[in-house]
Amino acid sequence: MRLWLSKLRIAPAVIRTNRPRASSIITTSVTARWNLIVLLAYRRVGEARGVLRLQSVASTQDVARSLPIGSIVIADHQTAGRGRLDRRWESPPGTALLASFVLPPNPLLSLAAGVAAAEACGGNVRLKWPNDLLLEGAKLGGILVEATPHKAICGIGINLAWAPPGATRLSVDRDQLLERVRGELERWSSAAPYAVLARWRELSDTLGRRVRVDLPGSVIEGTAEDIGSNGELIVDGVAISVGSVIHL
Ligand code: BT5
């Protein structure tokens, strides 16, 4: 918390990685002007090395969407944090790492981000297909990748000081964890696909288990045998690209 507040200072007009002079803001493109409006709309608690820190925001994903590749948005609190399929992501103010990274498009990004987050958390953190971080079988965090034609917004939520019933948390410093996640994400989002898949298999808590997969309109039960080259889960020989898995 002390580290967080120590970053408080008056923020420049746009993020540091791409800061135009006032005169160029007026004449710049519609997109850039929209970015500026979005940024000015939020109360910031700090900004350092391309990281935009906000106090309260609907979702870090929405702010990140209008920023250039390389940007990171981190918030103390989200009023409408989301998971996949419009599910809610809950966390009281100041209790979690809530970050969105703007990255180049990458079909394996969801798995690569899972690997990166698990490596950053260390210890016994394992991965549940497609996007959960598990600690001793309970959900510690999740990954949400949302793609636009030219970039991917990779949201990562990790519980630190609070977890909902049935989930778990990791007692580590938020800023230190952010730095580790950032480094690991840089590494794994640009790693060769075979390396991402190999490391995901090693960290997986899903492979080898009996699972039930809820698909839109049907349910499959079987053994999670492997992941395919595009990150799909193979259950009894059937490739599943989208769905929610229950470990049986
Ligand atoms: C996820 O979705 O696990 C992805 C979560 C991504 C959250 C980050 S935070 C930064 C960025 N900004 C956002 O708005 N989102 C991203 P999914 O697999 O759909 O899991 C959602 C489900 O997890 C919910 O339906 C709840 O059951 C459960 N859940 C909600 N909050 C949780 C929490 N804090 N810890 C553990 N489980 C939670």
Please give the angle made by the CA atoms of 241, 145 and 46, to the nearest 5 degrees: 170
DSSP string, 119-138: HHH-TTEEEETTTEEEETTE
Which ligand 1 atom sits nearest the alpha carbon of residue 60?
12
Phi-psi region of 42 (alpha: psi -120 to 50; beta: other; left: phi over 0): beta
Which ligand 1 atom sits nearest the alpha carbon of residue 99?
10
In this prediction, residue 6 carries a pLDDT of 35
Give the bridge partners for 44, in sequence order.
Answer: 54
State what percent of residues in the chain have pLDDT above 90. 72
Q: Supply the mean pLDDT for the chain.
A: 85
Q: How confident is the model at residue 15 (pLDDT cuts 50, 70, 90)?
A: very low
Residue 115 in this model has a pLDDT that exceeds 80: yes
Q: How confident is the model at residue 105 (pLDDT cuts 50, 70, 90)?
A: very high
State both tokens at 171.
Answer: 């007692």
Output the CA 155–ligand 1 centroid distance in Å: 10
In this prediction, residue 46 carries a pLDDT of 47
What would the mean pLDDT of 205-222 be, rounded to a whole number? 92
In this prediction, residue 39 carries a pLDDT of 52
Output the CA 159–ligand 1 centroid distance in Å: 10
Ligand 1 site-directed mutation target among 60, 74, 89, most atoms within 8 Å of CB = 89
Q: Tell me how far apart the alpha carbons of residues 178 and 31 are, in angstroms, rounded to a whole number.
A: 28
Which ligand 1 atom sits nearest the alpha carbon of residue 142?
3
The tens digit of pLDDT for each residue in 18-35 reads 333 333 333 345 545 555
**Cβ distance 154 to 186 under 8 Å?**
no
DSSP 3-state percent helix, strand, coil across the chain (nearest 5) = 30, 35, 35
Ligand 1 is surrounded, with C-beta below 6 A, by 59-61, 78, 81-85, 87-91, 98-100, 131-132, 139, 142-144, 155-157, 159, 163-164, 167
Output the CA 33–ligand 1 centroid distance in Å: 31
The tens digit of pLDDT for each residue in 119-159 reads 999 989 999 999 999 999 999 999 999 998 899 999 999 99
Output the CA 22–ligand 1 centroid distance in Å: 38
Residue type at position 162:
W
What would the mean pLDDT of 47-67 be, rounded to a whole number? 89
Output the CA 241–ligand 1 centroid distance in Å: 19
Output the CA 209–ligand 1 centroid distance in Å: 23
Helix (H) or strand (E) holding 183: helix 174-189
Q: Where do we find the tokens 């409006």?
A: 37
Residue type at position 145:
V
How far is CA 129 from each of CA 25, 37, 40, rounded to the nearest angstrom? 43, 37, 37
Q: Tell me how far apart the alpha carbons of residues 59 and 74 are, in angstroms, rounded to a whole number.
A: 10
Q: Tell me how far apart the alpha carbons of residues 96 and 85 are, in angstroms, rounded to a whole number.
A: 21
